[in-house]
Amino acid sequence: MLFREIVIAGCGNPLFGDDGFGPAVVEELQKLQLPDNVKVIDAGLGAPHFLFTLMEDAEVPVRKLIIIDIADFGANPGDVTKLRPEDLPPGTYRDAHSWDLSEPLQRLKDVIDITVIGCQPKRVASHEFELGLTEEVEGAIPKTVRIVLEEIGVEYGATINHQGTHLWASPGETTGDTRDNPGEKI
């Protein structure tokens, strides 16, 4: 089965520096035992166009799509935000090859609950290969995993301590999204 009720798609290419953020988060999520209704996919670079299009005709209806990718939202490298398709004007969400990814999302948003979890990149190579994430973006992986687990309603046992904060949380940080503005850093 290609899709399940909840699809988590990590977009990007690890050959282009911080563009490998989505696949790196997917790699961590694949180490966890997630509910049977969740499918975690390394969507790569060009695959999102095909995956998003196929979701419209999936035999099992996709109800929730979580996209993990880099996004330039003017923050500090490694900062993470949650966006909705409405927050992405046409032409503003592009992959490294300048394909507009907001158009397929605009088509799906009325039938699938879509969340984009974006990490502000520090460095994205476009003409030469550059393996590895910058320290700032690599440091955003645990927080992004936590955000994804919260989005799908999973409290992952050992990752929560007795005070209700995640073991990888910064001192004083608690769970939950308390933003007033979509696209605001979380």
- Residue 84: predicted pLDDT: 87
User: pLDDT tens, 138-164?
Assistant: 999 999 999 999 999 988 654 443 334
Least confident of 16-30, 76-90, 92-106, 158-172: 158-172
CB 183, CB 81: distance < 8 Å: yes
Give me the chain's average pLDDT, please. Answer: 77
| pLDDT(29) > 50 | yes
- Banded model confidence at residue 183, pLDDT cuts 50, 70, 90: low
- Residue 108: predicted pLDDT: 76
For residues 60 and 75, the model is more confident at 75
Cβ density class 67-83: b for 16+ within 10 Å, e for less? bbbbbebebebbbbbbb
